[in-house]
Amino acid sequence: MSERGIRLLETADGQIRELIDLFSTSGDAVLSRPCPGREKLGDGTVAACTLHTADSYGRIARFLDGRKQSGHERNYQAEKVDVRQVLELLSAGRRALSGLAYLTDQQLTACLLQAT
């Protein structure tokens, strides 16, 4: 385990945990609210931003595992998702990133160099 990997995991885990906590108490209505500044992302709603975020965490985890990366996989729309699905996607991203703490500093640096 590397201290750097642990810090990165703690940061990502904290961000995902905050989103899970928020959506666990908010209900489906919040998903259709506009997300100012993100109008070009899907339908510009909170759901679109959250789906994009969950998708991004999954892509990061796949990259760290050495799997081929693809672009954004979803047509981010509030009408296509409910809070239960959002929570499942965020939880899956959280689980997928759990191995981050086990990467050495050399592995993290190699991943960073490969990404650029």
Q: What is the residue-level pLDDT of the chain in tens, covering all 116 positions?
A: 788 889 999 999 999 999 999 999 988 889 999 998 888 888 999 999 988 888 888 888 887 777 766 665 567 888 888 899 989 989 988 988 888 888 888 888 887 777 66
Pull the structure tokens for residue 97.
């990133």
Global pTM reads: 0.79
Read off the tokens for 68.
Answer: 């081929």
Long-range contacts of 3-10 (CB under 8 A, 24+ apart): 4/105, 4/108, 5/100, 5/101, 5/102, 5/103, 5/104, 5/105, 5/108, 6/101, 8/100, 8/101, 8/108, 9/97, 9/98, 9/100, 9/101
